[in-house]
Copies of this chain bind each other. A is one copy, B any other.
Amino acid sequence: MSSTKPPRVHAPRLAREQRVDEILLAARELFCEKGYETTAVAEIALKLGVVEGTIYKYFATKRELLLKVLEYWYEEMFGDYARDLAGQSSHRARLHLLIWRHLRSVRDFPRLCRLMFREVQSEHDYRGTLLHDLNRRYTQLLVDVIEAGVAGGEFRADLPAPLLRSLVYGGIEHHSWNYVCGRGALDIDSLAEQLTSLVCEGIAVHQSSQPSTPVRGEGRKRGASA
């Protein structure tokens, strides 16, 4: 009969920064497990033993939360690239390092990759984001290596660096998709080798080992284009 108003139980008071980190972490996990759309803000709150409103104190919108989660991740990824790259003895080795490290990221956080590609990059509000910038700086590393390699005479001149970048990152993405979706494994060492080799040497048999290059002449004729 006596209707006792349940006493307000507060979650432990945390410093702003701690809370923010907590939320980012919980959100990352849930977004990875269930995807962005399928994760309700309420779930994130529940996971923290907190109330929805609390999350909105720190992140204006669910999407902002997603963006921040990914920014967080990118910042982790940058790590000590500069030093590591400098330590390599050739541009090919540097390229190999970039490929290998990217594969490692994909292997370690496959769902984040998926989020990045599915939920973020395809939306119109992506451009101009801090995240967009981070992404560009990240993939720019590869472009830089290519250009240095060209300058150093290790790579052919006039390479279309942006296309190469797409080839590498897009190729990795495509090839890891099954893994990212939870099927199969990812042998990053062997893949990194193969990729580097493909990109550097190409698939064609070179003249040194075989005389004829009829292929190349043909290529110019433009298959079905024109």
B-binding residues in A (CB < 8 A): 1-3, 5, 15-17, 20-21, 24, 37, 71-72, 75, 84, 88-94, 96-97, 100-101, 114, 118, 121-122, 124, 126-127, 132, 135-136, 146, 149, 153-175, 177, 181-183, 188-189, 191-208, 210, 212-226
Of the candidates B97, B170, B198, B200, the one whose C-beta lies within 8 Å of that of A170 is B170
> Can you report 24 residue pairs joining A to B where beta carbons are below 8 Å apart?
A89-B218, A96-B222, A122-B181, A126-B181, A154-B205, A155-B205, A158-B214, A159-B219, A160-B194, A160-B222, A163-B191, A163-B195, A163-B218, A163-B225, A165-B225, A166-B171, A166-B172, A167-B167, A170-B175, A197-B219, A200-B216, A201-B204, A202-B204, A207-B210
Given contacts A205-B153, A206-B208, contact A166 B218 (CB under 8 A): no
Query: Which 10 residue pairs spanning A and B have beta carbons closest together?
Result: A170-B174, A202-B202, A97-B223, A166-B175, A167-B171, A92-B215, A170-B170, A166-B174, A162-B222, A2-B20
B114–A118 touching, CB < 8 Å: no
Whole-angstrom CA separation of A194 from B204 in the bound complex: 14
Closest to A101 in B: B224
- Bound Cα distance from A97 to B197, whole angstroms: 24
